[in-house]
Amino acid sequence: MNDLHAAFAAPAREALPRLTPAERRLVEAELLEMASRGPGTGRILDGLREVAARVPERLYADSAEVLLRMHEIAGSGNLQSNLSSLALVRACFAHGLVDDGGAGADRAGEGPAELVVGRGHIAPAFYAEHYVRGTLPFAPLATLHQGGLTGVVHRDLGFRTTMRYSLGVGVAQAVSLAWELARGGSDRKVVCLAGDGELHEGAAFEALRFAHDAGLTNLLLVVDANGKGIEPLAKPLNTGYLAAYLGTLAEVDGCDDGAVETALGELLARPGPAALVCRTRKGDHSFKPAGAAPPAPGRPVSFASTAGRMLGAHRERTGRELAVFTPDMAARFGLGGHVPYTNTGLAETLTVGMTLSLPDHVTKVVATDAMYYMDSLSMLTEATTSVRNLLVLAGRSWGAWGGAHNATNLLGLLLHTRVYEPVTAAEFQACLDRLARDPATAHVVSMIDAAFEPPARDCSADIDGGVWLTPPGDGPDAADATVVTFGYAGVLVEAANRDVGLPHLHCAALTPRLDPAALDVLTRSRRILSVEYNGAGSGFGERLRARHLLPVEVHAVRRDIATRVHRNQLPLHGMSPGPLRERLARLLENREGSGHAPAYA
């Protein structure tokens, strides 16, 4: 099997039932072509272009229609963000800023300018335009978010850069490239596609200020100004500061393909820096399939979306004053209607900064994202060392797995910080009560976006300890093998362990302080398996092993993020019930051996 077939065949075949008959026939023909190829030595994008050339049939001629089908097949994504920027994307193709001939990033320097796509979520718009121009087959389009195509820009798929954390970093990437070109004596332009939401971020402000102060004359900033980030922006885009930093500023109807193409061409031909503001329109941030029914009563919803209700219950129960700040994520945490909040508009550094001078007695809540707060670590360090009663709600999406990206473990290394991952309302309230008792310690509460049934028991009685979801039996050999979990992993293991019966200790704290009875069971265990939903260096199992010198084997994710939906994420990393059940059974049968060195799965 070649790399191309390995990357796209399985997710494309999984999508077949959601395709039209014509789409299904075409995808099957394209997959046959992929399978016939020998081992690939070039980029994935080059191989896809060859398949498109060998199977040239096009089902759609309008990239907007292609975008809709991509999101309908995936059932998720940011359709409206892509449609908002589609005229900009088409203009980039029209002016040769996008390579659609086969060499992509290898042809850097050959087009009229360099293109940096800072608006990272609009990668599907480029895929759709590639398709209608005949340079991508349809099969990969059916794999968006399912393990094939990523929803954000990536070097492997024809973009100059790869987005990993906050989107505002794209402006910094463009300024970095413009500076390097200028330093080498080149007047070659750098075009950066950005959104008015991401320009709220501190990195974008700093980058534009530097471009001005450094006298860069080769930066062309193209802004999709739709008046929305995730939620509506508090104020329209401030064109004054763009004009002050970049000099020339042009505005155009961003929904008019011809107007955008003409304006972009004029600014490319004109010497000096400039900003092109494209006035566009955007609907809902997240795609909702047509006719999708609302959640049935009693059906689990995303745990993160219950945060507002739980905060409201805490305020009513304790009478404590809350000051809640969020960088455009109120809907994600269900804040509306439950607690007053302030939307800082995707400015995550400022979101944390807003807590710095509030009175000590106020509970300061920062509701942000596992990726976004990576950009605000310096401010978080300031806050954790100087702010009392600080609660950070760290959203954890299905895309946030392992690797250097694992900010949950990273935050546990900051001064005066405790990290928790509650999986019940009672555990969440216990975290808030603990903060009231220990206001000098910042409490980071990891909030899982997944919907799940809570475990039979929880750690609310001892939020720093653990609770036996499956108790150990009696006798000296009763706990010869034990499984210990952190947060959401406890839910996954509880389901997998029902037929295995391994003693299972669930913890809500990243660094648990276990009572003597639990430690006695673990000390007598010759084999301990730590299962972590998001593992990385200095993670839960490694801390458990180092603190108590226990023979812990770690079953966790040891790679960088994989952008795919939750149902596909779990089996990819051995976290779905079947693979977990097999892993627990092997431990019970002593197939893994023993010892004090951690083994990573």
Tell me: do 368 and 323 sit in the same domain: yes
Are 426 and 548 in a shared domain? no
Our CA angle for 135, 172, 225, nearest 5°, is 70
Token pair belonging to 121: 């979520």
Spans of the chain, pLDDT less than 70: 1, 39-41, 101-110, 164-167, 291-299, 371-375, 398-407, 475-478, 534-538, 558-563, 590-601
Can you list the alpha helix ranges (DSSP code H) found in 370-513? 377-386, 407-411, 425-437, 488-496
Query: How remote is the C-alpha of 333 from its chain's centroid?
Result: 15
Q: Containing domain of residue 252, as a range?
A: 60-279
- Both tokens of 169, joined, read 């970093």
**118 and 223 assigned to the same domain:** yes
Q: What is the pLDDT of residue 283?
A: 85
Q: Choose one of 395, 413, 448: the last residue of a domain.
A: 448
Residue with tokens 């939620």: 231
Do residue 89 and residue 214 come from a single domain?
Answer: yes
pLDDT at 193: 97
Any idea which residue has 């080059």 for tokens?
46
Assigned domain for 51 exists: no
What letter would DSSP give residue 329? Answer: -
Residues 104 and 241 in one domain: yes
d(CA 415, CA 381): 7
Report the sign of the C-alpha dihedral through residues 69, 121, 348, 213, in that order: negative
Could you say which of 220, 244, 279 is where a domain stops? 279
Contacts of 290 (CB under 8 A, 6+ apart): 72
Distance CA 589, CA 601 (A): 17
Residue 601 belongs to a domain: no
In a domain, 132, yes or no: yes
Same domain, 401 and 489: no
In sign, the C-alpha dihedral spanning 289, 290, 295, 296 is: negative
Q: Note whether 519 and 584 are same-domain residues.
A: yes
Total tally of structural domains belonging to the chain: 3
Residue 74 Cα to chain centre, angstroms? 17
Give CA–CA dist 470/195, Å, rounded.
50
Residues 270 and 321 both lie in one domain = no
Q: Do 471 and 441 share a structural domain?
A: no
What's the CATH code of the domain at 350?
3.40.50.970
Whether 35 is covered by a domain: the verdict is: no
Find out whether 152 and 120 touch, Cβ atoms under 8 Å.
yes
Same domain, 444 and 470: no
- Residues 441, 523, single domain; the answer is no
The pair of three-digit structure tokens given for residue 324, joined into one six-digit string: 């809640």
String of DSSP letters for 178-230: HHHHHHTT----EEEEEETTGGGSHHHHHHHHHHHHTT---EEEEEEE-SBSS
First to last CA, the chain: 24
- Give the global pTM: 0.86
Residue ranges of alpha helices (H) inside 55-122 are 63-74, 79-84, 86-94
297 part of a folded domain: no
Calculate the CA dihedral of residues 211, 214, 215, 219 and round it to 10 degrees: -30
Whether residue 41 lies inside any domain: the answer is no
Q: What is the pLDDT of residue 52?
A: 95
Q: Does 22 fall in a domain?
A: no
- What's the pLDDT tens digit per position in 128-170? 999 999 999 999 999 998 878 888 888 888 898 887 655 678 9
CATH number at residue 474: 3.40.50.920
Choose one of 279, 313, 329: the last residue of a domain. Answer: 279
Residue 484 lies inside a defined structural domain of this protein: yes
Statement to judge: residues 313 and 388 lie in one domain: yes
Among 24, 29, 33, 55, which Cα is nearest to 135's?
Answer: 55
